[in-house]
Structure 1
Amino acid sequence: MKATQLRRAAAKVEAATPAHRDRALDGLRALALLAVPTGHWLLGGFTRDGDGGLHNASPLSSFPSLAPLSWVLQMLGIFFLVGGHASALSYRRASERGESARSWVAGRLVRLGRPVVGVTAIWSGLLVVLWWSGVPDATLHTAATLVIQPLWFVGVYGAVTALTPWCARAARKAGPWAAAPLLGTVAVVDLLRYGPWSAGMPTWLSLFNLLPGWLFAYQLGVGWGEGRMSRRAARVLLIGGAALFAVLLWKFGYPTSMVGVPGEARTNSHPPSLLVLALGAFQSGAAVLLRDRIASLLRRPCWWAPVVAVNLSAMTILCWHQTAMLTAAIPGAALGVVPGLISAPDTAAWVAARVMWIPLFAALLMVTARSARRLDAPWTGAGPGIRVAAGVLAAGFAIFALRLA
């Protein structure tokens, strides 16, 4: 597309944007969304066994010095913050229209669920086709694990969204302090599982961090949407989050990486540790303080148009970005060792080669998105039989993938 056509397209998007649109929030959401595939594509690799099967690998195992990169790419705190803000406004408007809380929550959950059912149902059929084509079982297992990997986020996001009515009431009463008990809960669980008594603690204890850990930034976002987040509070979050992050790393020995590293006994994100909340507090404070500057930048059509495109494809990006990488990796495995794609991620050359693969992954995702975005909209043309079949296929894929995880 020529530069003139791009400018015309950007001008068209600009003209269609309502004056009251909060561009900063959309910009923050787009940034957090793009960090998800970027992180998975950069920090996830493949090795090939003797039978040609693919196995997951990570450059972080060989290059722990890359761990700080995960601090930048782990932007789920921003996503939950912006989600909480948007949900607070949406819920308030729904209440003003007389819509019940139950109806509002149900509508939001259906919007989240459709793309998840779509991608898992389609992959259920793809696994059968790939198996029939002779693709090794190890590759099928790896593919299923990677596809299901980002979908846990949608489930957790749905759970915190369902709590929006209670989050809104808490925010109106306590402002940002409504998130403090969530921080305290995660701190207590971390103390139990990593402190002096950790040897006698059950492994499932960490699951108690799952909901409060991700609800923390969402609650801050709801408070922001309710107008209870001052710049002073944002500065406290920024400075306090940075200080807590540093103390946890250097004094309490938390893992440096924000994502799981193969072979490591501890992980920060599954479920979230106190380090994740510290990073989320820092990111939340920075987002609130930079809101006006971001909004000013996005008043330029050339910056605003890509943000709109990313937001319109939010669920498609989340659900299908691993498929884009697998679309290159599965055929690549038949060729043997392919630098940066099918090779051990243990050299600097691999890192350089993987960076070169990113544009192809992005292009494959864009091609996939053209068809997959239909799954985000209401399935008006699908009868009850198709919906039931999709649900059954999705459930079968989920059972298969989760048994391997």
Structure 2
Amino acid sequence: MAKQPSPSSDKHTKSPSERDLYLDSLRAGALLVVVFGHWIATLPRFDGGLDIQTEHLLKIWEPSGFITWFVQVVPLFVFVSATVSADGVAHRMAQGHRQMHWWAGRALALARPTVTYLAAITLIALLSLYTGGRVLGPFNQSLTIHLWFLIMLLAVQALLPLSVEADRRWGLGAVVGLVVAAAVVDVVRAMPGSAGDILRLGQRVTDSADGIGWINAVLVWLLPQQLGIAWKRGRFRGAWTGLFFLVLGGFWLVAALASGYPIGMVGRDFHGDSNMLPPTLALVGVMWLQVGAVLFFERPGRWLLDRRRISGAVTMLSALSMPLYLWHKLAELPAAWLGDRFGLPVDAGLPGEPGFWMGRFWWIVLCGLMVVPVIALVVAFEMRRKQGVVTTSRPRIILAGGFSLMAGLVVSLALGALPGALIGLLGVAAASWLLRVHPQPGR
């Protein structure tokens, strides 16, 4: 069998100044899928001008749960981020450098644009308060719900040095250990009393209290990170291995459904059940599929990226992917107003009714059109902000900044745009200030 290219092979080894376009395309593609997935799932309902409500596709159409098998791509983002960062973290560990400084840089990179976003949401929230809530309406929670991803990413990346060390010591055994530990959590949560209960594990997990299940909020999300490091180290590679993971993922998901786990892999599904709140073993099946796809399509993917036009588009999308993720929910406000103003069928009833999917098309078009000027303004503003900041290296300051950042994000997520964005803005802004120091002139 011919040797397949991998991120650890000589052909694709990158110097620190170079970027791996295949990995960039995966990260950018993952965030774009999330953006379009959010737009597709949001169903605006009009009732006289801006007096609207929103529904979620998962809660009114049960088959939409199967769509989430393909749009739940957050594990892919974590997988690729770990692949990109593994060598740098390992090098710093070998040199005896403090890993807190590395994490502070990542936290600062997320805190700075989040300050801008929360400041804008705060202004909109205050305007909505002045107008009696007509500006925000049902979008109050929607404008901050996607910040959960930043919370999860920061927490997982804080443990990246431990994941690198686990790979050095145990190799793929670290991956197996995480899967086994997550399985133990689900089994304890289900409390099976007989062999027959094991066959209904998913149903018993779904019916049980969350409790101990929240341990899997760490174990399950660490799994794609551990897999990304293992791939970077060349512990698995090639299209045939990718095909194995694809088959494994397919069987895993079918078995999960047969045992009673929910269909959906995002939020809560048609029946109010969830594979994410907290994460369950069923979600691992999606991770196998995504790792399999990365390996299986690596050779043709790299071949396409050798084309100048495609590589240029990927570079641009990669640079805009995080701003797009952060700001895309804001585009739903003007999109809803325009849809109602011009009588476009964005409120098209229920799935199966005439015009529903055409309504989804017009809704996505409006959201896409509205997000373009938003991103243009954001990029222009961020480019004018003072640059040349250096991340602080003082552990106590990093801990304070990290706590402030996480607290600000959690409050914004929990309380929505009003009052969450205002309170959260204080925490995130404090973190942005704590995690950096401005060089003195002349030094």
TM range, normalised to the smaller chain? 0.7 to 0.9
Question: Pick from 178, 185, 192: which aligns with 1:182?
Answer: 178
Q: How does 1:209-228 map to 2 (within 5 A)?
A: 209-228=216-235
**Pair 1:273-2:270 in alignment:** no
Question: Pick from 95, 110, 126: which aligns with 2:124?
Answer: 126
Aligned in 2, Cα 1:393/1:18: closer, same or farther, shift over 3 Å?
closer
**CA distance in structure 2 between the aligned counterparts of 1:393 and 1:171, rounded to whole angstroms:** 32
Question: Pick from 121, 137, 145: which aligns with 2:141?
Answer: 145
Q: Which moved more, 1:256-265 or 1:113-122?
A: 256-265
**CA distance in structure 1 between the aligned counterparts of 2:177 and 2:318, rounded to whole angstroms:** 32
- Preserved CA contact (<8 Å) 1:316 1:376: no
- Preserved CA contact (<8 Å) 1:190 1:274: yes
**Pair 1:361-2:367 in alignment:** yes
Once the two structures are superposed, what CA deviation does each residue of 1:117-175 show, in whole Å capped at 9, x if it has no partner? 32122201211112223443xx6363231121111011101111111111111112222
Aligned to 1:324: 331
Q: Which has the higher helix share?
A: 1
Question: Pick from 228, 247, 250: which aligns with 1:242?
Answer: 250
Q: Secondary structure at the match of 2:141?
A: helix
**Pair 1:169-2:165 in alignment:** yes
Aligned-pair identity (%):
26
Aligned in 2, Cα 1:165/1:272: closer, same or farther, shift over 3 Å?
same
Unaligned 5+ residue runs, structure 1?
1-16
Amino acid at match of 1:25: L
Q: TM (normalized to structure 2)?
A: 0.75
Q: Deviation at 1:95?
A: 5.2
Q: Deviation at 1:102?
A: 1.6
Once the two structures are superposed, what CA deviation does each residue of 1:73-123 show, in whole Å capped at 9, x if it has no partner? 121221111011011133245557774312111111111222223212220
Aligned in 2, Cα 1:110/1:126: closer, same or farther, shift over 3 Å?
same
Once the two structures are superposed, what CA deviation does each residue of 1:257-283 show, in whole Å capped at 9, x if it has no partner? 222346523112233221211111121
- Preserved CA contact (<8 Å) 1:147 1:319: no
Aligned to 1:305: 312
Q: Deviation at 1:393?
A: 8.9
Question: Pick from 385, 400, 404: which aligns with 2:415?
Answer: 400
Aligned in 2, Cα 1:370/1:18: closer, same or farther, shift over 3 Å?
farther
**CA distance in structure 2 between the aligned counterparts of 1:398 and 1:124, rounded to whole angstroms:** 13
Aligned to 2:212: 205
Q: Secondary structure at the match of 1:115?
A: helix
Q: TM (normalized to structure 1)?
A: 0.81
Which structure has more RCO (C-alpha within 8 Å, separation ≥ 6)? 1
Q: Deviation at 1:44?
A: 1.6
Amino acid at match of 2:36: T
Q: How does 1:366-381 map to 2 (within 5 A)?
A: 366-373=372-379, 380=386
Q: Which moved more, 1:276-285 or 1:67-76?
A: 67-76
Aligned in 2, Cα 1:75/1:397: closer, same or farther, shift over 3 Å?
closer
Aligned in 2, Cα 1:229/1:46: closer, same or farther, shift over 3 Å?
same
Aligned in 2, Cα 1:398/1:59: closer, same or farther, shift over 3 Å?
closer
Aligned in 2, Cα 1:255/1:95: closer, same or farther, shift over 3 Å?
same
Aligned to 2:115: 117
**CA distance in structure 2 between the aligned counterparts of 1:157 and 1:129, rounded to whole angstroms:** 31
**CA distance in structure 2 between the aligned counterparts of 1:102 and 1:241, rounded to whole angstroms:** 35
Question: Pick from 41, 44, 47: which aligns with 2:42?
Answer: 44
Aligned in 2, Cα 1:239/1:403: closer, same or farther, shift over 3 Å?
farther
**CA distance in structure 1 between the aligned counterparts of 2:359 and 2:317, rounded to whole angstroms:** 26
Amino acid at match of 2:253: F
